Amino acid sequence: MGRSPCCAEDADVKKGPWTPEEDQKLVDCINEHGHGNWRALPKLAGLNRCGKSCRLRWTNYLRPDIKRGKFTEEEEGEIIKLHAVLGNKWSRIATHLPGRTDNEIKNYWNTQIRKKLLNMGIDPQAQAQAHTHKPRTDLNHLLNLSHLLCASHPWDTAFKLAKTQLLHNLLKIINSNLASQNPYSFQGFLDGTSTLSGKQLAPTAPKPLNITENAGATATSQNPWAYNFGGDLNSEGKLGISNRSLSTSAVVQTENPLPELVSESLHQTSSPINHMDKMADAATYEAWEKLIMEDDDDCSCWKEFLDLSSST
DNA sequence: AAGTGCTTCAACCGCTGCTAA
DNA sequence: TTTAGCAGCGGTTGAAGCACT
Question: Residue A26, CB, less than 7 Å from strand B?
Answer: no
Question: Residue A39, CB, less than 7 Å from strand C?
Answer: yes
Q: How many residues are given for chain A?
A: 312
Which range of A42-51, A120-129, A272-281 scores highest in mean pLDDT? It is: A42-51
Average pLDDT over residues A148-165: 61
| Cα R_g (chain A), whole angstroms | 23
Question: Residue A135, CB, less than 7 Å from strand C?
Answer: no
**3-class DSSP state of A268:** coil
Does the structure show a pLDDT above 60 at A113? Answer: yes
Question: Residue A69, CB, less than 7 Å from strand B?
Answer: no
Question: Residue A90, CB, less than 7 Å from strand C?
Answer: yes
pLDDT digits (tens, 9 = 90+) for A228-259: 332 333 333 333 333 333 323 333 333 333 33
Question: Residue A256, CB, less than 7 Å from strand B?
Answer: no
Does the structure show a pLDDT above 80 at A88? Answer: yes
**3-class DSSP state of A196:** strand
Banded pLDDT at A280 (limits 50, 70, 90): low
Instruction: Note the pLDDT of residue A125.
Output: 54
Average pLDDT over residues A27-49: 89
Question: Residue A62, CB, less than 7 Å from strand C?
Answer: no
Instruction: Note the pLDDT of residue A122.
Output: 66
Instruction: Note the pLDDT of residue A222.
Output: 32
Query: Can you tell me the distance from the alpha carbon of A144 to that of A106, in angstroms, rounded to the nearest whole number?
Result: 26
Which residues sit opposite A239 in a β-bridge?
A: A233
Average pLDDT over residues A151-179: 59
A274 phi and psi angles, rounded to 5 deg? -85, 175
Query: Can you tell me the distance from the alpha carbon of A93 to that of A228, in angstroms, rounded to the nearest whole number?
Result: 27
Count Cβ atoms within 10 A of the Cβ of residue A219 and give its class: 0-12 exposed, 13-18 middle, 19 or more buried. buried
Protein-contacted positions of strand C (CB under 7 Å): 3-12, 16
Domains of chain A, each with CATH number or no CATH: 20-62 (1.10.10), 123-311 (no CATH)
| CB atoms near residue A204 (< 10 Å) | 19
pLDDT digits (tens, 9 = 90+) for A193-229: 443 333 333 333 333 333 233 333 333 333 333 323 3
Average pLDDT, chain A: 60
Smallest CA-to-CA distance from A117 within A137, A143, A94, A136 is with: A136
Q: Which of A16-20, A267-271, A282-286 has the lowest mean pLDDT?
A: A267-271
Rounded alpha-carbon distances, angstroms, from residue A31 to A4, A19, A25, A35, A262: 30, 18, 10, 9, 47
Instruction: Note the pLDDT of residue A69.
Output: 86
Question: With contact defined as beta carbons under 8 Å apart, do A47 and A25 qualify?
Answer: yes
Question: Residue A115, CB, less than 7 Å from strand B?
Answer: yes
Cα dihedral sign for A116, A118, A122, A124? positive
Average pLDDT over residues A92-104: 92
- Point out the nucleotide closest to A115 (alpha carbon to C1′): B7
Average pLDDT over residues A298-302: 49
Query: Can you tell me the distance from the alpha carbon of A241 to that of A219, in angstroms, rounded to the nearest whole number?
Result: 16
Banded pLDDT at A154 (limits 50, 70, 90): low
Show the CA angle centred on residue A32, arms to residues A53 and A102, nearest 5°: 35
Distance of C1' in B19 from CA in A40, Å: 18
Q: Nearest residue to nucleotide C16 when comparing alpha carbons to its C1'?
A: A17
Instruction: Note the pLDDT of residue A263.
Output: 33
Supply the DSSP string of A72-94, one letter for each residue: PHHHHHHHHHHHHHH-S-HHHHH
